[in-house]
Amino acid sequence: MNMKTPIYMDHNATTAVYPEVKEVIKHALDLTGNASSVHTSGRAARKLIEDSRDSVAKMVNANSKDVVFTSGGTEANNMAIRSFAKSSAKIRILASAVEHSSILKASPNIEIVPVNSKGIIDLEALDIMLTESPWESGFGSTLVSVMLANNETGVIQPIPDVVSIAGRHGALVHCDAVQAAGKIPFDLKALGVNLLSLSAHKIGGTAGVGALIINDDLKKDVKLLPLLFGGGQERGKRAGTENLSGIAGFGHAVEYTLKNLPKYKKISILRDRIEKELSSHSNVRVFGSGVSRLPNTSNLTMPGVSADRQIIAFDLAGFSLSAGSACSSGKVGPSHVLAAMGVANDEASTAIRISLGFPITSKNVEMFIKVWRDIFKRSNASTKDLEAA
Ligand code: PLP
């Protein structure tokens, strides 16, 4: 077993907490005060939360009052779908086939919009599905949920086009920006979406904190109902004493994230180097190649070698990475994203996801390429031995 610190290439699963964020979290933990209390200690806690709200709003060009802190991206996504589902008896929810399971499993009645072989939403199909509304035109209670960037492939969706089609049909748009945040610049108002989800642990904060941004322009006739009831926290939209340290860390992580955005230029060069080297092997396929993708993500096959086997072999060689999406159970299951892109199960089961982050060097990348080649050679040789036996 390689006891050295692994070379971490799984930044879409979670990424390191910034050292400065740890300091802010420690400071918040030392502060005894409930942000709902009116005394000095309570007001100090309130200030940390409101400063973070301002920072998160600034990152995506939203209004601070529209930011609702949640327990993470999953809750933000669930809240968008379920609160909308509860808003009226006549609602429709459409989501792309490649959405995160926290969207797809948030309601049993989601209508799936297909994607093409590159993983991009089929805009024509979306238009047709919205045209075929079961209600008279102008009925406003339809929500379309499309992510900004996919966690497994990094493929970036044409959100402004989705917004324009949805707008023609009077539908609202939710965007899961959990993976895009911190990796590509974007702007809520320029995107034109009504709801947007974020998660802190993908940008250098801690897991268990996120936000749903409810854009001011959300039509007044749609009233999102909270999922959690009790206190009046988060302007009555999400009850429960706030996670002060997590939220303080989130706000600080945002500041570093914005400063670090230019570093993704170098990361994309390293990612491209991996893809160029490995796709010179016959039949290696990079999913989503040729379309806009996150600069750090690559989802590629190693022909004839299962993802399970690759992950163990890479782990033994000192590399941490995932198969497709990092499942909560730790088990590698078939990827609904690759299936939606029309990839056969046999091929999808040989795909791994490489997601790079700031600490990665070109030396790490050269080593990774070498290890990949070794695993490929070894595995194919042992398969041939088995076949010959
Ligand atoms: N949405 C996407 C695209 C994700 O990749 C993830 C996490 O991997 C989530 C939502 C859920 O976020 P969280 O882990 O904060 O619950």
**How does pLDDT run along the chain (389 residues), one tens digit per residue?**
446 899 999 999 999 999 999 999 999 999 999 899 999 999 999 999 999 999 999 999 999 999 999 999 999 999 999 999 988 878 899 999 999 999 999 999 999 999 999 999 999 999 999 998 666 555 558 999 999 999 999 999 999 999 999 999 989 999 999 999 999 999 999 999 999 999 999 999 999 999 999 987 666 667 788 999 999 999 999 999 999 999 999 999 999 999 999 999 999 999 999 999 999 887 899 999 999 999 999 999 999 999 999 999 999 999 999 986 545 445 567 899 999 999 999 999 999 999 999 999 999 999 999 999 999 999 877 666 555 55
DSSP H or E segment with residue 352: strand 351-355
Residue 199 CA, ligand 1 centroid: distance in Å = 7
pTM over 0.85: yes
Which listed residue (29, 261, 316, 327) is catalytic?
327
Q: Is 77 in the pocket of ligand 1 (CB under 6 A)?
A: yes
Within 10 Å of residue 109's Cβ, how many Cβ atoms? Answer: 9
Atom of ligand 1 nearest to the CA of 75: 16
Give the number of C-alpha atoms closer than 13 A to the C-alpha of residue 106, restricted to the C-beta side. 27
N-term to C-term CA, the chain = 29
Residue 185 CA, ligand 1 centroid: distance in Å = 18
Distance CA 272, CA 269 (A): 5
Nearest C-alpha to atom 13 of ligand 1 is from which residue?
73
Residue 100 CA, ligand 1 centroid: distance in Å = 7
Distance CA 186, CA 46 (A): 28
φ/ψ of residue 281, rounded to 5: -80, 145
Distance CA 262, CA 132 (A): 43
φ/ψ of residue 126, rounded to 5: -60, -45
Who contacts 223 (Cβ-Cβ below 8 Å, separation ≥6)? Answer: 87
Distance CA 209, CA 198 (A): 9
Amino acid 210: pLDDT: 98
- Residue among 183, 153, 154 at smallest CA distance from 301: 153
Percentages (nearest 5) of helix, strand, coil residues in the chain: 40, 15, 45
Nearest C-alpha to atom 10 of ligand 1 is from which residue?
73
CA dist list (Å): 376 to 128, 205, 303: 44, 36, 8
Atom of ligand 1 nearest to the CA of 77: 10
Q: Is 72 in the pocket of ligand 1 (CB under 6 A)?
A: yes
3-state secondary structure of 1: coil
Instruction: Give the residue, out of 184, 199, 203, 328, with the most ligand 1 atoms within 8 A of its beta carbon, to mutate for a pocket test.
Output: 199
Distance CA 144, CA 93 (A): 6
Residue 202 CA, ligand 1 centroid: distance in Å = 8
Residue 106 CA, ligand 1 centroid: distance in Å = 13
CA dist list (Å): 156 to 73, 117, 125, 290: 18, 14, 18, 11
Any catalytic annotation for residue 175? no
Cα dihedral across residues 269, 274, 279, 285: positive or negative:
negative
Distance CA 149, CA 133 (A): 27
Q: Please, what's the b/e burial string for 290-306 (b: 16 or more CB within 10 A of its CB; e: otherwise)?
A: eeebbbbbbbbbbeebb
- Residue among 55, 53, 85, 81 at smallest CA distance from 66: 53
DSSP state of 199: E
